[in-house]
Amino acid sequence: EVQLLESGGGLAQPGGSLRLSCAASGFTFRYYAMSWVRQAPGRGLECVSAIAPSGATSFYADSVEGRFTISRDNSNNMLFLHMNNLRAEDTATYYCAKYDTSQITRPRDQWGQGTLVNVPS
Amino acid sequence: QSTLTQPASVSGSPGQTITISCTGTISDVGVYNYVSWYQHHPGKAPKLIIFDVSSRPSGVSSRFSGSKSGNTASLTISGLQAEDEADYYCNSYTKNSGTLDVFGSGTKVSVL
């Protein structure tokens, strides 16, 4: 059974940093592209970052470019999101999501339950 | 960020058929057949129920079906059941810069 377990969320001050982690199991992690998708309170979903299986290629939404860094540890089946210079508008539940192949144009077929990040204004 | 337009809410009685629309543009829904739909029960992990406009992942009920016409994709739920009460989001790959893909604004399905 595929499992994606996020951790690392919490309260952060504006301008502060957090590191989100996602522990993956139940599939061969190194073969699949991965992403972080967030949902702000009362709003829809937004993909903030995605990463290729090898980690060599990554994508960032304009809203987080230059502040967030996605990375992965294929040896330990872990996905990370390093968040710097946090803003109130980054307040959201952050989901770790697996693509169904190595391509980031494909659908996300498995998601975690999310971790909440709160940056008060 | 840009979002695809969905109705805020749709309701139906058990056994009925409902349809949720998802309207995009010629930069996303209208040009790509990479439309997916996700079911989200609050507090739980979102679940992929339709991909590539009309394909169903293994294990997803055949009561869920998808289609597309022009810039609008649709999700149809037939034989509505209490367990279908959830939020539904459409998603499409986009050629717009600055974002990888776009999600819909979300539709709350209520089973009366």
On the CB side of A82, how many CA atoms lie within 13 Å of its CA? Answer: 6
In this predicted structure, the answer to whether residue B73 has a pLDDT above a threshold of 60 is: yes
Distance from CA of B81 to the nearest CA of A (A): 23
Q: What's the CA gap between A51 and A33, in Å, rounded?
A: 6
> Can you tell me the distance from the alpha carbon of B88 to that of B74, in angstroms, rounded to the nearest whole number?
11
CA B91/CA A5 separation, integer angstroms: 23
- Residue in A59, A95, A109 nearest the CB of B100: A59
CB contact under 8 A, A100 and B99: no
CB B103 within 8 A of CB B89: yes
CA nearest to A104 within chain B: B100
Interchain CB contact of B43 with A (< 8 Å): yes
Alpha-carbon distance of A2 to B31, in angstroms, equals 32
Here the tokens at position A93 are: 């539940």
B chain contacts of residue A109, beta-carbon cutoff 8 Å? 48, 51, 57
- At B15 the three-state DSSP class reads coil
Closest Cα in chain B, distance from residue A54 (Å): 18
Is A109's CB within 8 Å of B106's CB?
Answer: no
| A48-72 confidence digits (pLDDT tens) | 999 999 999 999 999 999 999 999 9
Sign of CA dihedral A119, B4, B5, B11: negative
pLDDT tens digits along A19-36: 999 999 999 999 999 999
Minimal CA separation from A103 to chain B, in Å: 12
Q: How far is A17 from chain B (nearest CA, A)?
A: 23
In which element (H, E) is residue B35 found? strand B35-40
What is the pLDDT, as a whole number, of residue A116? 97
Task: Please report the pLDDT score of residue B95 as a whole number.
Answer: 87
What is the model's pLDDT at position B1? 56
A50 in contact with chain B, both atoms CB, cutoff 8 A: yes
> In the 8-state DSSP scheme, what is residue A16?
-
- Nearest by CB to residue A45, choosing from B47, B52, B89, is B89
* Closest C-alpha to B36, from B104, B108, B112: B104
pLDDT at B61 over 90: yes
Supply the pLDDT for residue B96: 82
Question: Does the pLDDT of residue B97 top 80, yes or no?
Answer: no
Q: What is the pLDDT of residue A65?
A: 95
Q: Nearest-CA distance from A74 to chain B in Å?
A: 23
Residues 6+ apart with CB under 8 A from A8: A18, A19, A20, A21, A115
Question: Quick check: B1 and A109 CB within 8 A?
Answer: no
A107 touches chain B (CB under 8 A): yes
Chain B, window 14-33: residues with a beta carbon less than 8 angstroms from a chain A beta carbon:
none
